[in-house]
Amino acid sequence: MTATLYDGNLANLLPGVHLLSSVGHTPGSQSVVVDTQEGRVIVCGICCDEGNFNPPEELKSTWPEVLVPGIHTSSQDAYENLLQIKRKAEYIITLHDKDSYSRGACPGPAWPRYK
């Protein structure tokens, strides 16, 4: 079996499965997009937790929709890619949120819905 590397976005890696460029925290990062009957699920390839998609009220004057991770290679790229993920997803699985591991299958009733 040989591996194939994909750079950037890729529509239809498999039916209903796509890759979405998610640079900003780490160069070359990609998120996995899965279209399900219950809605679009995005497994983030950018360092984040649910707080990045729901900034606290005291930060919303500066970061109204998404909050950039504390460590990044480009704050602009990180902001734009987190915003893109939030706008495209009904459900988001984050890499660094303990709740992601206790909610069961996604999508499901224990998962927050973004649309």
Residue 44: how many CA atoms within 13 Å on its side-chain side? 28
Give pLDDT, residue 7.
83
DSSP 57: G
> Going by C-beta distance under 8 Å and a sequence separation of 6 or more, which residues neighbour residue 49?
94, 95, 96, 97
> Going by C-beta distance under 8 Å and a sequence separation of 6 or more, which residues neighbour residue 93?
41, 42, 43, 44, 100, 106
Give the span between the Cα atoms of 63 and 65, in whole angstroms.
6
Q: Does residue 30 fall inside a structural domain?
A: yes
Q: State the amino acid at position 85 in one-letter form.
A: I
Give pLDDT, residue 98.
84
Q: Does residue 3 fall inside a structural domain?
A: no
Q: State the amino acid at position 2 in one-letter form.
A: T
Q: Does residue 108 fall inside a structural domain?
A: no
Q: Does residue 78 fall inside a structural domain?
A: yes
Q: How many structural domains compose the chain?
A: 1
Q: Does residue 86 fall inside a structural domain?
A: yes
Give the span between the Cα atoms of 59 and 70, in whole angstroms.
14
**pLDDT tens for the 115 residues of the chain, in order:** 787 888 888 888 899 999 999 988 888 889 999 999 999 999 999 888 898 999 888 988 888 899 988 888 888 999 999 999 999 999 999 988 888 888 999 999 999 999 8
Q: Does residue 95 fall inside a structural domain?
A: yes
Q: Does residue 21 fall inside a structural domain?
A: yes
Q: Does residue 111 fall inside a structural domain?
A: no
Give the span between the Cα atoms of 14 and 95, in whole angstroms.
22
Give pLDDT, residue 115.
84
> Which residue range forms the structural domain that includes residue 30?
10-101
Query: Where residue 89 sits, what CATH number does that domain have?
Result: 3.60.15.10
